[in-house]
Amino acid sequence: MNKQGEGAVMSEAVDIHIHVVGTGDSGSGCSLSAGFASGSVFASILDSLNITPPEASDGLIEEILLDFINSSEKIRRSVLLSTDAVYKNSRPVEAETCLMASNDYVARIARGNGRVLFGASVHPYRDKREMVNEVDRCLDLGAVLFHWMPCIQQIDPEDDRCIPFYIRLARAGVPLLCHTAAEFAVRPLDVRTAGNGGLGKMVKPLDIGVKVIVAGSTHLEELIEMLAVSEEKRWDFYADISCLFTPEGLFHLDRIMKEIDRGTIAADRIIYGSNFPASQVPREALVPACEERSSRHKQCNPLDERYEVARNLGVPASAFTSAWRVLRPLSR
């Protein structure tokens, strides 16, 4: 790609945080546990996609998700996220895997759609050789980042088994997008893994040299402190704003914007991610611009809705394009 083309791409808005879910009925390699499939989180996901539970299937979920991506007027590229299974003793544990979206499935979607980017997921507790091989295979398939949900996937980011994974990501210059909050997708919350989302657990990969993007943190003061010291510590540390799309998110966003205004946090440490379709836009955050477009069209595109909510709440314009400096460079 020439420099002029690169400049055009890097001016496009990116959503780095869109989840892929599937029932596995098509042989996609996706799966949902019975508890997750009958729970409130999956019900909310289906509601976001305008799907009723009896209709849920790989094909329909993919079709609707891609329709939103392709028709978005604001978001030009979307990172779709795989989610690896839970692994113990180097083997997948189906009984403890809440949800899974396979790398092959998400990579296939990205390969067939120029507006989709591949976000891979590899559990660090796989056999070491297998894990490294899978990371390399995902890179060959075009992965622009890797995705973890430590509480759900039962990953302790401070575990030494993660070190080979971190070293490989640091060498490749590819970021880790990591949920750093208590996850409520699984009930009851496992007290053994509830602490895996602690922000302090990101220090290890940061010190190794991994680009880390944290998502949905409930540890607001600690997040602000870590972002503030990133320059001094030479950390490639960033936060996506997917925490906005939660009940407490409006307060978090307001506080982060104030810290940016004060100069405590550099604006380029903030990256746009919507967490679609796994969370709902707070009703009080809906904006007239989207209501106006809804009157012209049958339905407001939810990706555009979230973009406009973020812009109207003061998210800096740089947040929508800063992913291009952080993601693994496109090979196409």
Residue 189, amino acid: L
Residue 281 has pLDDT above 60, yes or no: yes
User: Which range among 64-68, 216-220, 221-225 has the greatest average pLDDT?
Assistant: 64-68
Q: Cβ neighbours of residue 139 under 8 Å, at least 6 residues apart? A: 172, 174, 328
Among 45, 36, 20, 176, residue whose Cα is nearest residue 105: 20
**196 confidence band (pLDDT: 50, 70, 90):** confident
Query: Average pLDDT over the chain, rounded to whole?
Result: 88
| Phi-psi label, residue 34: left if phi above 0, alpha if psi -120 to 50, beta otherwise | alpha
CA 36 to each of CA 32, 155, 187, 246: distance values in angstroms, whole numbers, following the listed order? 6, 19, 8, 19
**288 confidence band (pLDDT: 50, 70, 90):** low
pLDDT score for 251? 76
| Average pLDDT rounded to a whole number, residues 308-325 | 91
- Quick check: helix, strand or coil at residue 319? helix
Residue 28 has pLDDT above 80, yes or no: yes
Residue 296 has pLDDT above 50, yes or no: no
Instruction: Assess contact for 193 and 154: CB atoms under 8 A.
Output: yes
Match 């100069």 to its residue by tokens.
263
Residue 67 has pLDDT above 50, yes or no: yes
> What DSSP string describes 8-30?
HHHTS-EEEEEE----STTS-S-
| Average pLDDT rounded to a whole number, residues 3-11 | 55
Higher-pLDDT residue of 194, 176 = 176
pLDDT score for 2? 44
Residue 294 has pLDDT above 70, yes or no: no
In the numeric block, which tokens belong to residue 29? 């390699």
DSSP 235: -
| Average pLDDT rounded to a whole number, residues 30-56 | 94
**253 confidence band (pLDDT: 50, 70, 90):** confident
pLDDT score for 185? 52
In the numeric block, which tokens belong to residue 205? 């990969």
Give the global pTM: 0.91
DSSP 236: -
| Average pLDDT rounded to a whole number, residues 218-234 | 90
Residue 214 has pLDDT above 70, yes or no: yes
Residue 289 has pLDDT above 60, yes or no: no
pLDDT score for 201? 94
| Average pLDDT rounded to a whole number, residues 315-320 | 93
The pairs formed by 125-134 with CB atoms below 8 angstroms and a separation of 24 or more are: 125/87, 125/88, 125/90, 125/155, 125/159, 125/161, 126/87, 126/90, 127/90, 128/161, 128/164, 130/90, 131/164, 131/165, 132/164, 132/165, 132/168, 134/103
| 143-148/176-179 β-pairing | parallel
**300 confidence band (pLDDT: 50, 70, 90):** confident
Instruction: Assess contact for 109 and 66: CB atoms under 8 A.
Output: yes
Residue 220 has pLDDT above 90, yes or no: no
**1 confidence band (pLDDT: 50, 70, 90):** very low
Q: Cβ neighbours of residue 284 under 8 Å, at least 6 residues apart? A: 250
- The C-alpha atoms of residue 253 and residue 21 are separated, in whole angstroms, by 27
Could you tell me what percent of the chain has a pLDDT over 70? 84
Residue 252 has pLDDT above 60, yes or no: yes
Instruction: Assess contact for 315 and 249: CB atoms under 8 A.
Output: no
| Average pLDDT rounded to a whole number, residues 184-195 | 59
Residue 68 has pLDDT above 50, yes or no: yes
The phi, psi pair for 178, rounded to 5°, reads: -130, 125
In the numeric block, which tokens belong to residue 264? 């405590």
- Quick check: helix, strand or coil at residue 32? strand
